Amino acid sequence: MTQIKLVALDMDGTLLNDQQEISKENAYWIHKALDAGVKVCFATGRGFPSAVPYAEQLKLDTPMITVNGSEIWHKPYELFDRTLMSPQLVRRLHRLALQEEECWYWAYTVKGIVNKETWIEADYEQYEWLKFGFYTEDRAALKRILHELSQWEEIEVTNSSPDNIEINPAGISKAGGIRKLCALLGIEMSQVAAMGDSMNDIAMIREVGLGVAVGNAQQAVKEAADEVIVTNNEHAVAHLLQHFVLKGE
């Protein structure tokens, strides 16, 4: 296998355990990888404000991919690239969410998150939009939303759990973010390992040199991966780095 020079990690359900913590084992092996010259970066659906505290906890000074690839950072607080979602599209998505009474919804803006409880009916042009999301445990409602979205051309449709749908502008994905990072860092996609658990991880898992699913991943993610390993509660990142990237160093 080609030597891995960059490891891209999903956060929720992958790097973080079910208590939203980074285990000591994961932190130890991340620093072992960094010491060996391997760059370790987050590739998350989270916005920067909720991702960066974990980067600071690990004392990472490496790139970050946030909001499913809508933002790419040279390193924490140093933006490299940002792709916005049109206000008109956000308005359409909001109208669609309102058709399902039990559906909870949210959107990331450059300045933070707005959701069903805090949504402001105002001039959509006043905000810089990044991502829109739907959440409901009603499978029929999710199916209806997905059916409608399947007819829209200007979007990427993924999820970060079986109960939600995440929308980014067309062409935006974690895989696209990694491609931009590879160009920035002067490395090939074949020199990247990526790991995740949800549909927003599938593109990067398929396109990198080593695509890995955690044991708790959705079935479609496992089917797309080169390897399926232990769960997020069993220090999956440590397992990946020890056995596949550093190979027991």
Average pLDDT over residues 197-201: 97
Residues 131-151 have a mean pLDDT of 97
Q: CA separation (Å) from 43 to 62, 123, 148?
A: 12, 31, 28
Query: What per-residue confidence (pLDDT) applies to 247?
Result: 85
d(CA 189, CA 180): 10
| Angle, vertex CA 226, rays to CA 214 and CA 132, nearest 5 | 55
Report the share of the chain in percent with pLDDT over 70. 98
At residue 120, the pLDDT reads 81
Give 9-43 pLDDT, tens digit per residue. 999 999 999 999 999 999 999 999 999 999 999 99
Query: Which tokens hold the place of 137?
Result: 């445990």
> Is the pLDDT assigned to residue 1 strictly greater than 60?
no
Taking the whole predicted model, whether its pTM rises above 0.85 is answered as: yes
- The active-site residue out of 10, 12, 197, 201 is 10
pLDDT tens digits, 145-162 = 999 999 999 999 999 999
For domain 87-169, give the CATH number: 3.30.1240.10
State the Cα–Cα distance between residues 220 and 30, nearest whole angstrom.
27
123 is catalytic: no
| CA–CA distance, 82 with 129 (Å, rounded to integer) | 10
CATH dotted code for 6-82+173-245: 3.40.50.1000
DSSP 8-state code for residue 94? H
Q: Would you tell me how many other CB atoms lie within 10 Å of the CB of residue 113?
A: 16
* Domains in the chain: boundaries: 6-82+173-245, 87-169
Give the mean pLDDT of 56-82.
97
Mean pLDDT of 118-124: 82
The whole-angstrom separation of Cα 32 and Cα 51 is: 21
Q: Which of 172, 188, 175 is nearest to 6 (CA)?
A: 188
DSSP-derived letter for residue 1 is -
pLDDT value, residue 9: 98
